[in-house]
Structure 1
Amino acid sequence: MTGRARDHHSQGIALDRSRTNCKGPARGAATWTEPRRERAPRSSPARSKSEGHQRTMYVDVQSFALGAAAVGAVAVVRAVRRNFLWSWHDPAPCVPELGDGGVVGADEDPGVVTVYGGGRLGEAHFSVSWAVSRVCCFLELAGLEKRCVEALPDKGPKHKMPWIEHRGRTVTDSGFIIRYLRKVLPHHRGVQALFECEARDPRRWACAAAAARLCNESLYFFELHQRWVRPGPGAWDVTKSLFAGVPGPIRPLISTMVRNDLKESMYRVGTARFSQTDIAAEVEEIIATLEGLLGGEEFFGGDTPCAHDCMTYSALEQYFHAPWYSPQTTPAVLRSKRLAAYVARVRALVPPEKCAARFARMHVPEAAKYRGA
């Protein structure tokens, strides 16, 4: 063997010159052979480290797959419920049929109104839901006895809050709740006093209704966008504290899912398509309109509050006392001396600890079935 062939062999290259009657390389052609690699013993540190790394990767991939499957399953269930199950039938009415004996007589006890709501922030004496505060404010101004139960929105008949139970009936939506109480309690002096403005001054009643609609159907969406969509202090940093009662391991998942649902809703409504400058301009116009509707009156209902004041007050009051702060919406409200004086007058009639009473937790018997337990 020549010196060059010996060098090639030492590098793992063999020269095969013996094959003459088989298919393959021509005589004298060089063929490459893979050097034999020694397998590490089972007990070697290198083999143990490699197998441990593979097991770790397998566990990580398996955990990720299970988490992704769980999120996907939840998303599918929500999509089916939202797009199919709810659209196959006409929803039940918010106010059930009263039937015989549905109207409470003048000598009868009006009974206790149980309000199911939630969204209480810490120990604050208000609910973060304008609709819940609206119903509580109405009950206090009317002088009706109430009991508040903290509940999850998905447990309600319409998957929203608030809803009430009164004399064996369940009524949903704050506007329908107020109309129901007006209809079922025609002899209750406190309830009917909140509707006297309609007959006494129809123009003033229309202004009060317009103000309530403006808050409920316009200002509400801008504030919802600032609380749930806008990041940073005074916005989502405050809102996510509402999920403090959710178990820690799934808290980020639940809060993110709820937030994404609201983001999608805000985009469909159109609010999320506005810039912060656009939102500030819209809110400025809303506040100016509310000041014009109030005029020189003490309340939107005139000399005394009316039923529509409950909605307007519940919306404006949180700008002065809630922990949220938005540079686009809050300053416009706080600069209005007329609306600030209006909020102070209603607040004097209905103290905050009564307007949005503390929502009971576990010591109220009805709470367990509505808290997901």
Structure 2
Amino acid sequence: MSSLSPQPKLTLYRGWDSPGKYVWSPFVTKLEFRLRTSHTPYTNAAGSTFSGPKGKIPYMAVDETANPPELLADSSLIIKALRERGLIKDVNESLSGRDRGLDLAVRALMEDKLCFFHTHERWIQNYYVMRDYALSAVPYPLRVVVGMLAFRGNVRKLHDQGTGRFSDAEIRGFIEEIWTGVDGLLEDSRRMNLGRPEGECYWVLGGEEPTEADATVYGFVASVLVSKAGPESGRLLRERFPRVVSWAERVHGAWFPDYEIWE
């Protein structure tokens, strides 16, 4: 880590005041994974979509002593900015062209496909649970109004994007197909790393170190396992893909031992 730049104070706004716990957003945990595996110190704060520069969670203050403080938004853009400034490792720098493409494909599969299926499961199928979690800081009478606006916005967004045009059964099939693919990658990686000590982490692409794909996959696995607004996805992972859960438990033990683990 000697090649990294002097460390400014980094504050990660996760959207919820939940010290010692994962939040339900996969993009928050993805970013925390990158910070922790780079040994980059940071502190957590709640924040809100209303305060974030792009109206999204997560966002990050790079130096709160500045006036105004510099705020970065969008997990991928935050990672890019921190990497360019030498504040986190460039974990994909040594990848071959093929593996760079595979890494990008895995991230796109999760962030640009699975994410919409999760939005449907949480905001449409399990609306009240998701509303009361996402809007927990909003007083109850107002929460009903804001929640309904969010519901209508998500219905419209999912219809325009395409997910909303599928049946629930079709969406379940797509979700299972994605996790089957992830499970297959982890199976191959495990075979490539049979010499590792029992319980040690192995990685999605089979290399010695994690890549950007690992951050994204871990973020989504943790999100599924802790979210109460996606019970079907949680059951699917636990019952059909124990290897994926076991992989996440290894990562949790190595890099998030201070956080409560999922049940």
Aligned-pair distance for 1:354?
5.3
Instruction: Tell me: CA distance 1:129–1:119, structure 2 relative to 1, closer, same or farther (3 Å).
Output: farther
1:228 equivalent to 2:129? Answer: no
Residue 241 (1) aligns with residue 132 (2): yes
SS of equivalent residue, structure 2 residue 94: helix
Aligned to 2:237: 333
Could you state the TM-score of these two structures normalised by the residue count of structure 1? 0.58
Conservation of the 8 A alpha-carbon contact between 1:125 and 1:352? no
Q: How far is 1:178 from its partner?
A: 0.7
Partner of 1:324: 229
Which residue of structure 2 aligns with residue 91 of structure 1?
Answer: none
SS at match of 1:229: helix
Structure 1, gaps ≥5 residues long: 1-104, 357-373
Offset at 1:265?
0.9
Whole-Å separation in 2 of the counterparts to 1:340 and 1:275: 27
Question: In the alignment, is the contact (CA less than 8 A) between 1:126 and 1:355 conserved in 2?
Answer: yes
- Residues 211-257 of structure 1, C-alpha deviations (whole Å, 9 max, x = no match): 22211111111011110011xxxx22321222333223322112111
Deviation digits for residues 110-152 of structure 1, max 9, x if unmatched? Answer: 12211123146x7771122111221122111111111222112
Matches within 5 A, 1:68-107: 106=3
| Shift in alpha-carbon separation, 1:136–1:355, aligned structure 2, 3 A | farther
Aligned-pair distance for 1:203? 3.5
Tell whether the 8 Å contact from 2:25 to 2:223 is kept in structure 1 after alignment.
no
Which letter does structure 2 place at the counterpart of 1:275? S
Q: 1:124 to 1:225 in 2, by over 3 A?
A: farther
Larger radius of gyration: 1
Q: Secondary structure at the match of 2:144?
A: helix
TM-score of the superposition, structure 2-length normalised? 0.80
Letter of the structure 1 residue corresponding to residue 11 of structure 2: T
Q: Secondary structure at the match of 2:50?
A: helix
2:246 paired with 1:310: no
SS of residue in 2 equivalent to 1:199: coil
- In structure 2, relative to structure 1, the CA distance for the partners of 1:303 and 1:107 (3 Å cut) is closer
Count of equivalent residues:
240
Question: Is 1:212 matched with 2:107?
Answer: yes
Report the identity percentage: 22
Q: Is the 8 A contact 1:116 1:164 kept in 2?
A: yes
The alignment partner of 1:170 has SS state of: strand
- CA gap of 1:277–1:239, structure 2 versus 1, over 3 A, is same
Q: Is the 8 A contact 1:111 1:145 kept in 2?
A: no
Q: Which runs of 5+ in 2 are unaligned?
A: 190-201
Matched to 1:238, the amino acid is V
User: How far, CA to CA, are the matches of 1:244 and 1:106 in structure 2?
Assistant: 41
Say whether the 8 Å CA contact 1:163–1:174 is kept in structure 2.
Answer: yes
For 1:140 and 1:172, locate their aligned partners in 2 and report how far apart those are by CA, in whole Å.
Answer: 19
Higher alpha-carbon deviation: 244-253 or 341-350: 244-253
CA–CA separation in structure 2 for the residues paired with 1:285 and 1:304? 26
In 2, distance between residues paired with 1:309 and 1:285?
18
In the alignment, is residue 126 of structure 1 matched against residue 22 of structure 2? yes
Decide which of 39, 58, 81 is 1:162's aligned counterpart.
58
Contact kept, 8 Å, 2:110 with 2:220, in 1: the verdict is: yes
CA contact (8 A) 1:228 1:239 kept: yes
- Report the RMSD for the aligned CA atoms in angstroms: 2.6
Which position in structure 2 is the counterpart of 1:369?
Answer: none
Partner of 1:181: 82
Pick 1 or 2: higher relative contact order, CA cutoff 8 A, min separation 6: 2
